[in-house]
């Protein structure tokens, strides 16, 4: 049995989708449900049971045998508050730090493979680079509270020796099907598609840094299908532990991310630039680029999808269809 927390969310549901493709359906999906539509991410998927996040915490705290009785083999901990603009640090610490500590401890105590989602937001302004070097972990300075909450757990896991037996995956800018419920936290591809469909043009931030032109801020954009393959690599290869980047190893501009949207829609490029909101100024990563050598050295040899090809697949086979979800 496999447990996927955040299993109805973006990356979590994509993990379940890929596991289904591999013939795996003995999956507990754990998530927190409210008024959003993320349940739609589950409609095409196969799994054993769906458990509310709070109920799951109650079950495993009250029933020591739950994990053994269900022969739980792996926990993919993808659940978190993923809003990079969230200002309630207490909320972030409870959801992203304390809950992860709890699940990590239980997993290791029960000899369960624990793979958790960290984030490229932990790298801050990138002045120290983007190499997943655990010896430099304490030197990183995240730019926002979300990144800080993720960084705190990385540090805790290192300090307590857990990085010798668990895996943390630092996701860079992931985009693709099943992110529709994320509202303003959706990728620029998803937002641009909606904007172009309604107005005929896409809107990007003007640059707030003199080093970059408008729309030329660069990020490591990784397609969700590649991100889940890299994550599952550590489920299939259990001899590897520690922290690993999940990205492409390339930095692409927002302009180059958005232009294929027009191509996929057979429309002329039309991009409008607007001022960056004050809440993001000084907290915005103008450049990210994952160092992928550590992952490659574990034997991961799959080709990573180029941005243009990924965007065209996303728009043509998902966004511009009646059912845009993975199936």
CB 88 within 8 A of CB 139: no
Catalytic residue of the set 46, 182, 201, 306: 182
Q: At what angle do helices 99-109 and 145-159 cross, to 10 degrees?
A: 30
- For residue 316, report the phi and psi dihedrals to the nearest 5 degrees: -70, -40
Secondary element (H or E) of residue 189: helix 188-199
Q: Which CATH class is domain 2-175+222-247+289-304?
A: alpha beta
Least Cα distance to 212 among 172, 252, 184, 272 occurs for 252
How do the pLDDT tens digits run along the chain, 327 residues long? 999 999 999 999 999 999 999 999 999 999 998 888 999 999 999 999 999 999 998 999 888 799 999 999 999 999 998 888 889 999 999 999 999 999 999 999 999 999 999 999 999 999 999 999 999 999 999 999 999 999 999 999 999 999 999 999 999 999 999 999 999 899 999 999 999 999 999 999 998 888 899 999 999 999 999 999 999 999 999 999 999 999 999 999 999 999 999 999 999 999 999 998 888 887 788 899 999 999 999 999 999 999 999 999 999 999 999 999 999
Locate the domains of the chain by residue range: 2-175+222-247+289-304
Least Cα distance to 315 among 254, 257, 261 occurs for 261
Helix (H, G, I), strand (E, B) or coil at 243: strand
pLDDT at 190: 98
pLDDT at 228: 98
What pTM does this model have?
0.95
* DSSP category for residue 111: T
Catalytic residue of the set 146, 148, 175, 300: 146
268 is catalytic: no
Q: How far is C-alpha 200 from the chain's CA centre?
A: 29
Q: CA-to-CA distance for 211 and 14, rounded, in angstroms?
A: 36
β strands within 17-107, DSSP E: 27-31, 49-52, 74-77
Q: Which residues contact 191 (CB under 8 A, 6 or more apart)?
A: 202
259 is catalytic: no
Q: How far is C-alpha 239 from the chain's CA centre?
A: 23
Least Cα distance to 11 among 170, 168, 176, 123 occurs for 176
pLDDT at 277: 86
Helix (H, G, I), strand (E, B) or coil at 94: helix
Least Cα distance to 243 among 168, 177, 153 occurs for 168
pLDDT at 161: 97
pLDDT at 280: 81
* DSSP category for residue 264: H
pLDDT at 313: 98
Q: CA-to-CA distance for 120 and 221, rounded, in angstroms?
A: 11
């Amino acid at each position: 049995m496999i447990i996927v927390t955040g299993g109805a969310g973006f990356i979590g549901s994509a993990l379940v989708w890929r596991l289904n493709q591999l013939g795996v359906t003995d999956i507990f999906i754990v998530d927190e449900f409210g008024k959003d539509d993320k349940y739609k991410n589950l409609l095409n998927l196969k799994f054993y049971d769906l458990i509310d996040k709070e109920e799951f915490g109650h079950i495993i705290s009250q029933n020591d045998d739950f994990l053994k009785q269900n022969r739980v083999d792996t926990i993919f901990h993808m659940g978190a508050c993923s809003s990079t603009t969230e200002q309630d640090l207490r909320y972030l610490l409870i959801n992203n730090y304390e809950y992860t500590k709890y699940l990590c401890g239980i997993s290791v105590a029960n000899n369960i493979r624990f793979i958790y989602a960290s984030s490229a937001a932990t790298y801050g302004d990138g002045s120290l680079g983007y190499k997943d070097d655990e010896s430099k972990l304490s030197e990183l300075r995240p730019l926002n509270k979300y990144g800080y909450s993720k960084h705190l757990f990385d540090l805790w896991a290192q300090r307590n020796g857990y990085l010798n037996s668990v895996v943390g995956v630092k996701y860079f800018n992931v985009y693709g099907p099943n992110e529709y419920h994320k509202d303003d936290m959706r990728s620029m591809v998803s937002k641009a598609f909606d904007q172009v469909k309604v107005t005929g043009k896409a809107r990007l931030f003007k640059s707030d840094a003199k080093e970059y032109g408008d729309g030329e801020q660069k990020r490591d954009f990784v397609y969700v299908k590649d991100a889940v393959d890299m994550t599952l690599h550590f489920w299939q290869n259990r001899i590897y532990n520690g922290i690993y980047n999940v990205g492409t190893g390339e930095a692409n501009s927002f302009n180059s991310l958005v232009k294929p949207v027009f191509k996929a829609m057979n429309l002329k490029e039309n991009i409008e630039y607007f001022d960056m909101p004050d809440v993001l100024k000084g907290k915005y990563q103008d450049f990210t680029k994952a160092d992928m050598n550590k992952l490659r050295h574990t034997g991961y040899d799959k080709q990573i999808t180029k941005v243009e090809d990924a965007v065209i697949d996303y728009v043509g086979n998902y966004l511009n269809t009646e059912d845009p979800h993975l199936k």
